[in-house]
Amino acid sequence: MQFLLVAYDGTDDQAIERRLRARAKHVALGDEMVASGQMLYGTAILDDHGKMIGSMVVLDFPAREDLDAWLAVEPYMVGDVWKKVEVRPCRVGPSFTGLHH
């Protein structure tokens, strides 16, 4: 099952430092998830000045419980970077999955 995750960082003065502190572990876990097919795509959300303020990730897990298990160890969650997280089921179109019919 595919999911769209949109997560926004905190807005306090230490938010960007928390993000940068957790970023290497976040990217390393993302690389593992891409290799296993669990992460299809991810991007940082930027404000109008190019500052990172959140993340958008398209994920593929068997069930929402599996996604929740990932969130429990995701460095941006554990590192208190993401403060507002929305998860919605989604379906990636065939143009992006190679499933042209």
d(C-alpha 25, C-alpha 31), whole Å: 10
pLDDT at 40: 94
Each residue's pLDDT tens digit, 41-73: 999 999 999 999 999 999 999 999 999 999 999
Helix residue ranges, H only, 1-101: 15-36, 64-71, 75-78, 94-97
Looking at the predicted structure, is the pLDDT value of residue 17 above 90?
Answer: yes
Domains parsed from the chain with CATH numbers: 2-93 (3.30.70.1060)
Instruction: Say if residues 2 and 58 touch (Cβ distance below 8 Å).
Output: yes
Buried b (16+ CB within 10 A) or exposed e, 20-38: eebbeebeebbeebeeeeb
In this prediction the pTM is: 0.89
